Each structure stands twice: as C-alpha cells, then as structure tokens.
Amino acid sequence: QMRLAARVGQVNPSLTLAIDSKAKAMKAEGADVCNFSVGEPDFPTPAHIRQAATDALEAGKTRYGAVAGEMKLRQAIAQKLQTENGLCYGAENVIVTNGGKHSLYNLMMATIQPGDEVIIPAPYWLSYPEMVTLAGGTPVIVQTDETTGFKITPEQLQQAITPNTRLFVLNSPSNPTGMVYSPDEVRALAKVVLEHDLYVVSDEIYEKLLYDGAEHLSIGAVSPEAFERTIISSGFAKAYAMTGWRIGFLAAPVELIRACSLVQGHSTSNVCTFAQYGAIAALEGSQDFIQDMLKAFSQRRKLMLSYLNEMPGITCVEPNGAFYLLPNIKRTGMKSIEFCETLLEEQQAVMVPGVAFGSDGYVRISYATDTDTIKKGMERLDKFVRSRL
C-alpha cells in the first residue's frame, strides 16, 4: 500500500459530506427523507447569469485565461467592493478563485507555515481549521455560545492572541450560527486587531443574506488602518445561487494577491473562463433575484423558529443572517452525532451535528429548502425530541 503524506492523516473528513451521502443513499432506496443539511440555495441560477455564460461559451471564451481572473470580472468585483462595502480596492487587489473555499485555501497556503496560529471562533465553518492544518499551521479555537449570540468578544480575541498569531478568521453572517456581528461589534474587534498588528480574514460570503433589518459592516471599512489589515474572502455561490459554478474571490493588499496568484498559478490556474462571464452578469445585472430569494428564506426562517420554540428540550436563538439555525440540544442528553444519527434512522430527517463545527450540544438546520419539507421535518423532529424526554 502506498504511503500517504502525513498531512492527510491530520485532516478530518468532512462530516457534512458524509451525512449528505448517507441521506442520498437512503433516498435512493426509496426513503422519504427530509434534508436539512444543505448549504446551498434551492433556487436555480438566475436566467440572465446563465445566458451570459452561454453567450461567452458560444463566443469562444473557452481558452486559458489570466491566472488571477478575467480583467473585466476583477474590475467588476473591485467596483462592487467600493460601492457596496466602502472598500477602496482596484482590480489589482482582486484574485478570482474556484469558490470561496479556494480563496481561503490559497490564502492559507500563501501565509501560514509551521508555528503560525490562526484564531477561529467556534462554532466555525468546518473547513477553516482543516485548511490551517493542511498549511502546517495551528488553529486556535475560541468557544462561543448563546450568551454572546455565538460571537467572539474583543476580550476573548485578546486572550487568544500570542506572538505566533498570524490571522483571525471572522465570518459574518456566520455558517453555522446565522449570527451577524453588529457594526459596533465589528469596530470593537477591529480595535483589537490593530492593537496587536494582526491580519483579519473576513469571510463575507453570506453578506447579502440578512433579515429583520440586520446590517453588514465589513471590518475593512472600519478605518484606513483596518483596511490595510483586512483580507476579504467571498464568492457568488450563496447570493446568486451559483454553488456549482465555483467562483469566488479574495481581495487584499497587492502583495498578498500576488502571492495567492503564485499558488493558484501552480495549482488550478484560471477559473473556468466562460463561467466568469456569468459572474460579471451577476454583478452588473438586476439584483432583484436576491430580494425574492430573501423573502422566501425569511418566511421559512420564521416558520422553522416557530416550530423549534414549541419543542421541549430544545432552545434556539434567533439569528438574522445566512440560512441556518443552530438549536441547542443539550437537554436531550444526547451528543450531537448520536442525536443526528438516531434522528436520521428513526425519523428520516437530516441535520448536521454541531461537533462538526467545533460545538457539540448543537445541531445545524438549514432552511434552504421548501416549506412542505420544513413542516414535515419539524413535526418529525418534534416527535423525536418528545420521545427522548
């Protein structure tokens, strides 16, 4: 048997993908499965975006392109970051990547080496610590819970900093909690970042998925000093229902973009050329689609919360971003994996155990699914938790 590299042994397989494949297998065997593990909008990519990519394909945009992306897309992204986020970037500050996941991976490869620490608040998106580990660095996990709305406080951040800290990962709106840092909370974190000469990677992929008047402030927009210390990671997947297109981007000081281009130039090269034209259309075309999608998500979120609030043994804070809820299941006495496995076997409902996000005692439920599934699935969950108390 071939010897594998040690780094492979240090990485955990994706629990979400494992659960998803189990659910799909059950479905293939004919089971009536309610799937709440999905991390993607259940809407098709808007027609004008699909059309732009089709046109580009027909027009021969089928060849190798510049590693960092089509200039027109880099410009459109820089423009978006200026007008929507107040971040003064030019095209040279942007690299187009194969999804937000790839942006972050490039960044870790370009900046992290053995001995370096990266501060990650839990519950976290499960790829952050794994990417840090793959790059040879050390993830430093800071636990948060309901008492602070699952948000890291400036004091907690301060306490986690050591001379080896290189990066702090901020994700607002958050996967898996759905929580959104208020502008004041963002400013308070920026202060700590600057006091300690850190860099912050701000994963803003859910920035447009906000409810009940929640406001998104990019940490890079707090001050010119914070701007210099910020790296933005984002993508088209969530806001434009483009998960399978694999288009994301990183925006940062030029030296960092050059370093990421170097890594990307020897790994994936440019993102699929004609797909990038779809992304240009996403930014330049009508944004109405997002409002329609948000309206649907907002209703489903309320519906799901109303069920959860009636269930014994479960409590759930109300988040105002992304499309996830993270109810607390501690009073059921089950660990999150046991909870999800038994729920799947007994009630054919799929949820993701919180332990995958570094916080056992919770499960993640996605409401990027239709209302019938939500009603049926929540009734099953209700039956399940009642049977355990």
Minimum CB distance to ligand PLP smaller for 46 or for 248: 248
Q: Which stretch binds ligand PLP (CB under 6 A): 96-104, 156-164, 337-345, 360-368?
A: 96-104
**Residue 237 lies near ligand PLP (rule: CB under 6 A):** yes
**Residue 348 lies near ligand PLP (rule: CB under 6 A):** no
Q: Which of 144, 172, 175, 177 binds ligand PLP (CB under 6 A)?
A: 175
Q: Give least dist CB 31 to ligand PLP, A.
A: 25
Minimum CB distance to ligand PLP smaller for 236 or for 384: 236
**Residue 173 lies near ligand PLP (rule: CB under 6 A):** no
**CA-to-CA dists, residue 214 to 202, 217, 223, 322, angstroms:** 17, 10, 21, 11
Minimum CB distance to ligand PLP smaller for 322 or for 385: 322
Q: What's the start-to-end Cα distance of the chain, in Å? A: 48
Contacts of 291 (CB under 8 A, 6+ apart): none
Beta-strand ranges (E) seen in 49-191 are: 94-97, 117-122, 138-143, 165-171
Q: Give least dist CB 234 to ligand PLP, A.
A: 8
Q: Most distant CA pair in the chain: distance in Å?
A: 62
Minimum CB distance to ligand PLP smaller for 101 or for 229: 101
**CA-to-CA dists, residue 382 to 19, 181, 324, 377, 388, angstroms:** 21, 30, 18, 9, 10
Using DSSP bridges, classify how beta strands 34-35 and 349-350 pair: parallel, antiparallel or unpaired. parallel
Strand partners, 167: 118, 199
User: Which residue is nearest to ligand PLP, using beta carbons?
Assistant: 99
Q: Which of 39, 46, 327, 354 binds ligand PLP (CB under 6 A)?
A: 39
**Residue 248 lies near ligand PLP (rule: CB under 6 A):** yes
Strand partners, 388: none
**Residue 107 lies near ligand PLP (rule: CB under 6 A):** no
Minimum CB distance to ligand PLP smaller for 165 or for 172: 172
Q: Which of 51, 75, 153, 243 binds ligand PLP (CB under 6 A)?
A: 243
CA–CA distance, 24 with 128 (Å, rounded to integer): 26
Q: Which stretch binds ligand PLP (CB under 6 A): 19-27, 98-106, 132-140, 353-361?
A: 98-106
Minimum CB distance to ligand PLP smaller for 193 or for 242: 242
Closest CA to 144 of 186, 190, 107, 177: 177
**CA-to-CA dists, residue 172 to 10, 241, 340, 342, 344, angstroms:** 27, 19, 26, 31, 30
Q: Give least dist CB 312 to ligand PLP, A.
A: 30
Q: Give least dist CB 92 to ligand PLP, A.
A: 22
Q: Which residues in the 183-212 window bind ligand PLP by CB under 6 A?
A: 203, 205
Provide DSSP, 331-358.
GGT--HHHHHHHHHHHH-EE-EEGGGGT
Minimum CB distance to ligand PLP smaller for 108 or for 314: 108
Q: Looking at the chain, how many residues does it have?
A: 389
**Is there a contact between 252 and 218 (Cβ–Cβ < 8 Å)?**
no
Q: Which of 125, 150, 211, 249 binds ligand PLP (CB under 6 A)?
A: 125
Closest CA to 119 of 36, 199, 42: 199
**Residue 99 lies near ligand PLP (rule: CB under 6 A):** yes
Other C-beta atoms lying within 10 Å of the C-beta of residue 103:
28
Q: Give least dist CB 292 to ligand PLP, A.
A: 21
**Residue 178 lies near ligand PLP (rule: CB under 6 A):** no
Q: Which of 41, 100, 139, 319 binds ligand PLP (CB under 6 A)?
A: 100
**Rule CB under 6 A: which residues touch ligand PLP?**
39, 99-101, 125, 171, 175, 203, 205, 235, 237, 243, 248
